[in-house]
Structures are given as C-alpha cells and as structure tokens.
C-alpha cells in the first residue's frame, strides 16, 4: 500500500523513470533482440503505412510504364502511317504491273478450349469458334508470333486446329532475306525443317522463313521460324535446314483464325489441280 501511495504521489517521476529505464534498456539491448522486436511490432503497427508506401511505388511504376508505352504508341503510330504509305504505293505499283491485289485478312480471335499435353504426339487443339462464326475447314490459324496451323474439323460452336507440328502438315515457305522458296515441314526425327532447297541456294543460320503465299491455303507473310542449322552432307542433292518455330506452341494463349481472305489475294483462288503437293495441309 505505501508503494501505491508513493506511486500516486510521484506518478510523473515514476512514469519518467519507467520510460527512461525502458529506453535505456532498449538502447543497450542486443542487435538481435532489437531486430526481433522491431520486426514483431513493425509488422503489425506499420502494415497500413507499408501498404500506402507500396501503393505509391506501384502507382509510380505504372505511371512510368504508361509514359513509355505512350511514347511507343506514338512511335508505332508514326511507323504505321509510313507503312500505310508504302502499302498504298505497293498497291498502286501492283496495279500498274497488273498484279493481283494483296488485300488484308480478317482475324477472328479465338480462345483455347483444350491443348494437348504433348503437342508433338497429339497435334490438335480445340478453340471456341465454330461454324456459327463462319469458320470452315482449312482456314489458317495464327498468333501474333506467326502461323500455328490450320482448322481441321469444324463443329457448330468450336473447331479443332491442326498444329504445325503434325507429320502430314506442310507449308510453302520463303526465306525472308534471300527469297529462296522451300517447304516447311515437321517430323518426329528432325523436328521443324525446310525441304526442297537446292544446295546452291542461299540460306543461312538466323534467316527467317515465312509463308510464301503460294498454294491455296496460307496467305503470304506469316512467320514460320528461324533457321538454326544448315547442313549439306555428302551425297545429298538438297540442303538440310532445321528451324526453331516462331510460335512457342507450349505457351499459346491468343489465337486468331484467318477467316476471310480476299479472293484477289495472291494465290487465291488457285485451281486444286495446280496446287502442288507441297501444300499438305488438312
């Protein structure tokens, strides 16, 4: 009781003594204890302010990204305008030379419904577009990186797409640099490769192959892959060219069905009797 009354009489001094003692104890405590204490209390008390700090940093980062993207949009917009001019010029020149008009294509976005766990074994994927969307068998399917395959079977609301990595799939292709023509194929032994390129043709590692537009199905200009190896073993008549596909089939996300191709586009329509056996699509 006398202690309580003493405390009540000198409450201010007792409080000061207690606070100063605790402060000094904290000052002289070990670094580990300080760290543990700071972490324990800080994680509870400072969680709200941490959130604000992080939100602020996040917003700053987004703002920075936004500025970069805006600048990029401006650059691309400028480039697009110039490309548009070139396109018009090319169209005019094609008309002058009496070439057929290479009109653009209509891309129908589609979502993947299923994907083979091993695309090399089971080469069909299912997408959520079907007959009701105007999809028909044989239409090319692409992604932003290049050609993926072609529509194989069409149902009312969905379709099956045959991937490039199919044994019976072949596309007429062209080297973007040297304009050499070949046939893009896949087989389980060699993987992706280009066939029918003569030994004297100019194809080098790093060249990119795209669809040539020859044949009935695939429009010109969709990327197929990059040359990783060129071999000329003795006794063969053609180069053996291996490619890395431009589309990573394992990480496919958005696909587009090229569902409207101008009848005036190069190679369309092509009489089936003249279609080469290079076009082995479905």
Partner 1 sequence: MRETRFQLLLLVLGTIFYPVTEKWFAPWGVSVNYPFLLLFWVTIRRGRTPGTFYGFFIGLLRDLSSSTELGASALAFSLTGYLIGGVREKIDRENVAIRLTLLAGSYLVCQAIYLMPRMDWSLPAAGAAWVRYALPGSVLNALVYLLTLLLVRGLSEGLALIHEPAEH
Residues lying near partner 1 in the complex (CB under 8 A) are found at: 11-12, 15-16, 19-20, 22-29, 34, 37-38, 41-42, 45-46, 48-49, 52-53, 56
Closest distance of CB 162 from partner 1, Å: 57
Taking alpha carbons only, the member of 115, 111, 151, 112 closest to residue 135 is 151
Q: Could you tell me where the beta strands, DSSP code E, fall in the chain?
A: 106-114, 124-127, 140-143, 146-154, 159-163, 170-175, 181-187, 191-195, 208-211, 223-231, 240-245, 254-260
| Residue 131 buriedness (CB in 10 A; 0-12 / 13-18 / 19+) | middle
Closest distance of CB 153 from partner 1, Å: 60
Closest distance of CB 166 from partner 1, Å: 58
Nearest residue (CB) to partner 1, 37 versus 232: 37
Q: How far is CA 240 from the centre of its chain?
A: 28
Closest distance of CB 114 from partner 1, Å: 49
Nearest residue (CB) to partner 1, 52 versus 237: 52
Query: CA-CA distances (angstroms) from residue 85 to 96, 104, 109?
Result: 16, 15, 27
Closest distance of CB 64 from partner 1, Å: 19
Nearest residue (CB) to partner 1, 22 versus 68: 22
Nearest residue (CB) to partner 1, 29 versus 157: 29
Nearest residue (CB) to partner 1, 7 versus 99: 7
């Amino acid at each position: 009781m006398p202690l309580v009354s003493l405390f009540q009489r000198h409450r201010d001094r007792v409080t000061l003594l207690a606070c100063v003692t605790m402060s000094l104890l904290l000052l002289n405590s070990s670094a580990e204890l300080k760290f543990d204490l700071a972490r324990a209390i800080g994680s509870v008390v400072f969680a709200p302010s941490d959130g604000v700090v992080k939100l602020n940093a996040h917003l700053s980062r987004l703002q920075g990204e936004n500025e970069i993207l805006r600048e990029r949009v401006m650059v691309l917009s400028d480039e697009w305008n110039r490309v548009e001019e070139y396109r018009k010029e090319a169209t005019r020149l094609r008309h002058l030379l009496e070439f057929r008009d290479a009109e653009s294509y209509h891309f129908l976005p589609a979502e993947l419904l299923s994907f083979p766990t091993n695309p090399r074994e089971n080469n069909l994927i299912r997408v959520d577009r079907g007959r009701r969307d105007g999809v028909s068998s044989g239409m090319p399917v692409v992604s932003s990186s290049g050609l993926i395959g072609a529509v194989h079977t069409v149902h009312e609301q969905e379709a099956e797409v045959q991937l490039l990595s199919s044994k019976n799939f072949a596309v007429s292709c062209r080297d973007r640099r040297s304009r050499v023509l070949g046939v893009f194929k896949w087989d389980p032994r060699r993987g992706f490769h280009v066939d029918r390129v003569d030994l004297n043709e100019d194809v080098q590692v790093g060249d990119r192959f795209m669809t040539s537009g020859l044949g009935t199905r695939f429009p010109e200009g969709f990327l197929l892959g990059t040359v990783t190896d060129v071999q000329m073993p003795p006794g063969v008549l053609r180069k053996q060219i291996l490619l890395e596909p431009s589309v990573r089939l394992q990480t496919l996300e958005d696909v587009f069905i090229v569902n409207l191709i101008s009848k005036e586009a190069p190679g369309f329509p092509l009489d089936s009797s003249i279609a080469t056996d290079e076009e082995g699509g479905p």
